[in-house]
Amino acid sequence: MNRFGQYQPNLRFNSWRYTIKEQRLAVSEVLEENPSLRSELPETQHKAYQFARLATAEETGLSEQTFPVTRPFSFGQMMDEHFWPE
C-alpha cells in the first residue's frame, strides 16, 4: 500500500470518487470561462492544499504532520479523470 492509501482507506466510499469527479468538472469549467486564472494556479493550489491539510487533520483526528507539507500531486494528476490516489 502506498503512503496515500494508508489514510483511513476503510472509510472511503463511492461518494469520495463522485466528489472528486464533480470538483474536477467544476475546476475545468472555471478555467474554461476564465483562462487568465491559469497564471494564478501555483499560488492558489499551494494555499488550497494548506487549508485542506489542516481540515483533513481536524476531520480525521490524525496529526497535521501525518500529511505531506507540500501537495503530493501535480495539477495534471489532480485533473486526470483516470488518476485516483489509492
In tens digits, the chain (86 residues) has pLDDT values of 334 445 555 656 678 788 889 999 999 999 999 999 999 999 999 999 999 999 989 988 899 999 999 999 999 999 999 998 77
Please give the pLDDT value at position 12. Answer: 60
Number of domains comprising the chain: 1
How distant, in Å, are the alpha carbons of 13, 51, 62, 86 from that of 46? 27, 9, 21, 22
Residue 71 lies in a domain: yes
Please give the pLDDT value at position 2. Answer: 37
Q: Look up the domain containing 43 and give its range.
A: 1-7+34-86
Q: Which helix (H) or strand (E) holds 28?
A: helix 14-33
Please give the pLDDT value at position 60. Answer: 85
Residue 73 lies in a domain: yes
Residue 25 lies in a domain: no
Q: How far apart are CA 58 and CA 86, in angstroms?
A: 21
